[in-house]
Structure 1
Amino acid sequence: MTPVLRTARLLLDPYTPEDEDGFVALFQDTRVSRWMGDGPATEAEDRALFGRVFTKVYAEDLFDVWAVRRDGRLVGHAEIKRTDEVDGHEIIYALAPEAWGAGLGTEIAEAIVAYGFTGLGLTEVHATVAAPNTASRALLTRIGFAHVRDVREEDGSTTHVLTRHREPAAARPHPRAT
């Protein structure tokens, strides 16, 4: 079951049926969807995808998928799931353009990575980023991801695979009791 995650400004929680229009609006915005999966899809395909979040992903507990909310409003999407493309767990995140430039993407990515390490017990997490998506590559590099290889896509484009390793226990700060 997808857990609830909180950052300083965001709430990552499971989608509800009432989120459908916001989800579709996010994925229909080509400034967002051009970087997601195979790129923009039809509205009907995005509505079907939203339905599968409930009928497959949540129903079969396949992987973790979150609605990203700020001040109660849906502003993004996040996932962590095992994929063959990286032979491990990949983080996926998207943020509505009106929320860009405020550091929220960093909060989302850090929250998912932390959950991968602590909640799932992973030793590394991966991200795949289209070569032209310089903003996402810069964000991931800032939070400790390193480029490990390139994938040449069927359409001739390049996707970068980046990886972040869990710090050894000795390097992590010890939690303080309150």
Structure 2
Amino acid sequence: MTVIETDRLLIRQIRQNDLEDLYAICGNEELMQFTGDGILSKELTQKWIEVTLNNYKTKGFGMYAVCDKPNHQFIGYCGLIYSKYISDNELIYALNKDFWGKGLATEMAYAMVKYGFTTLKMERIYASINPKNLASERILAKVGFKEVFRKKDEAGLDTIYYAIEVWQRPGSDRRVNH
């Protein structure tokens, strides 16, 4: 089921048959180098799909498949997850390297944040990144996130935490508080 449609992307619920495509990202060292979980085995990737399917039922949101709109090719994931570590909702995303440098990560992050505020009525959304992940830092700034604190994450890695509490469409003076 498509949850969000942008100019170039379809963001849909993850399915059991997405295992190979999701594992191609989660099992890739370069793509996962800045994530706290690191590389996932195929078994852990399958477990994440199961947890996600349960999150749709119990929370109404989770991690989603990101597909290239023209051909519906699975190119990444993004979503909103509840982080026990910060006791709030957090934006997550990763994109297949073949699609880097095209503005797609910003497009999907923007769409997911908008969905969180307007559809899910979230009051705040966090994002956390490794300080070396300069590309994600630029993406978060474009979407409207501001740095709020730095500390070690649950895996003991240095982490910068960002938050956005007011939804504002980029290039607009119209602000929506939730």
> TM-score scaled to structure 1, two decimals?
0.84
* Alpha carbons of structure 1 residues 98 and 144: separation in structure 2 relative to 1, 3 Å: same
Partner secondary structure for residue 46 of structure 1: helix
Check whether the contact 2:35–2:130 (CA below 8 A) recurs between aligned residues.
no
Task: Give the superposition deviation at 1:173.
Answer: 7.4
* Structure with bigger gyration radius: 1
Partner secondary structure for residue 90 of structure 1: strand
Alignment of 1:112 onto 2:112: yes
Check whether the contact 2:37–2:155 (CA below 8 A) recurs between aligned residues.
no
Count of matched residue pairs: 172
Gaps of 5+ in 1: none
Task: Give the superposition deviation at 1:44.
Answer: 2.3
- The residue correspondences of 1:1-178 to structure 2 (distance < 5 A) are 4-54=3-53, 56-61=54-59, 63-70=61-68, 71-153=71-153, 157-167=157-167, 171-172=173-174
Check whether the contact 1:5–1:111 (CA below 8 A) recurs between aligned residues.
yes
Determine the C-alpha separation between the residues in 1 that align with 2:112 and 2:102. Answer: 18
More off after superposition, 4-13 vs 122-131: 122-131
Partner secondary structure for residue 35 of structure 2: coil
Gaps of 5+ in 2: none
Task: Give the superposition deviation at 1:167.
Answer: 4.2
Check whether the contact 2:31–2:94 (CA below 8 A) recurs between aligned residues.
yes
Q: CA RMSD in A?
A: 2.6
Determine the C-alpha separation between the residues in 1 that align with 2:105 and 2:146. Answer: 17
Give per-residue Cα distances to partners, 1:63-115, cap 9 Å, x unaligned: 32210000310001111122233332111111111110100000110001001
Check whether the contact 1:78–1:92 (CA below 8 A) recurs between aligned residues.
yes
* Alpha carbons of structure 1 residues 155 and 76: separation in structure 2 relative to 1, 3 Å: closer
Check whether the contact 1:126–1:162 (CA below 8 A) recurs between aligned residues.
yes
Determine the C-alpha separation between the residues in 1 that align with 2:175 and 2:45. Answer: 42
Determine the C-alpha separation between the residues in 1 that align with 2:66 and 2:39. Answer: 20
Equivalent AA in structure 2 for residue 158 of structure 1: D
Partner secondary structure for residue 4 of structure 1: strand
Check whether the contact 2:36–2:157 (CA below 8 A) recurs between aligned residues.
no
Determine the C-alpha separation between the residues in 2 that align with 1:134 and 1:73. Answer: 27
Check whether the contact 1:127–1:162 (CA below 8 A) recurs between aligned residues.
yes
Determine the C-alpha separation between the residues in 2 that align with 1:21 and 1:155. Answer: 26
Task: Give the superposition deviation at 1:3.
Answer: 6.1
